[in-house]
Structure 1
């Protein structure tokens, strides 16, 4: 893979990441349509029945409903060949229904790591590890 392809993948990741921080579902879904393969393989703890790009759109629908002020801060972004890896800190305020829980007004801050594999300049596969345990503890959904 050339340096130009690696740079193109990193730029596409940056556009995707910036969209996720827009707080606007329409912007996020538009960028998903542009940059994510419809049949993207999504390896992440996502409790839903949809697959592919639709699953990714559903994730953002659920997140923004629960945390309209959600911010994803990229702490590290590494690009090599056809992969981009990001380590993020996610913050937000629980202002709407999330995982069956009514709004609590509580702030959350948790970590996640995602690996994106690109093919032809589009996201073809995603692996994600999200610290859901910390998130749920901060919402008092579970105790230590």
Structure 2
């Protein structure tokens, strides 16, 4: 596929996430996508990614992601992003705090046939925990956008 096709898929994914239209996630992700940096207890494949986003948007219903910069090639998209949200629902064992967070993250997606087949990523988990006053944990937090 071309970088234009991959960019179109990435843009479509943004719309799917914004609309919370989980039934369309297969339009951007391969069913057996390999997530090299899954969230704690995340199931493998597309089902795990969908479950993560359902939990994340329940915990942070006002979540926003702003990618800057976005580097696109014929095989990969690398997105550096800012993520912001308000903790109003339970998340990874923590009850809602009502506090807001804003942190940076990065995601690298490998595309095969115009869909994400592999992903690597990291989000500033310590920054989220500090801003929400959750304390520290050994759990790894990763954003899936």
Q: Give me the TM-score of the superposition, normalised by structure 1.
A: 0.89
Alignment of 1:73-112 (within 5 A): 73-112=66-105
CA distance in 2, matches of 1:53, 1:127: 14
Kept in 1, the 8 Å contact 2:9–2:114? The answer is yes
Alignment of 1:3-22 (within 5 A): 5-22=2-19
Q: Secondary structure at the match of 1:72?
A: strand
Q: Secondary structure at the match of 1:97?
A: coil
Structure 2 counterpart of 1:62 = 55
Moved more, 13-22 or 69-78: 13-22
| 1:91 to partner: Cα distance | 0.4
Match of 2:33 among 30, 37, 40: 40
**Alignment pair present for 1:134 and 2:131:** no
Kept in 2, the 8 Å contact 1:113–1:128? The answer is yes
CA distance in 1, matches of 2:18, 2:86: 14
| 1:73 to partner: Cα distance | 0.8
Moved more, 40-49 or 128-137: 40-49
Q: Secondary structure at the match of 1:75?
A: strand
Q: Supply the RMSD in Å over aligned alpha carbons.
A: 1.4
Moved more, 45-54 or 78-87: 45-54
CA distance in 2, matches of 1:11, 1:128: 20
Ranges in structure 2 where 5+ consecutive residues have no aligned partner: 137-145
How many residues end up aligned between the 2 structures? 136
Q: Secondary structure at the match of 1:21?
A: helix
Q: Secondary structure at the match of 1:59?
A: helix
Q: Give me the TM-score of the superposition, normalised by structure 2.
A: 0.88
CA distance in 1, matches of 2:42, 2:66: 28
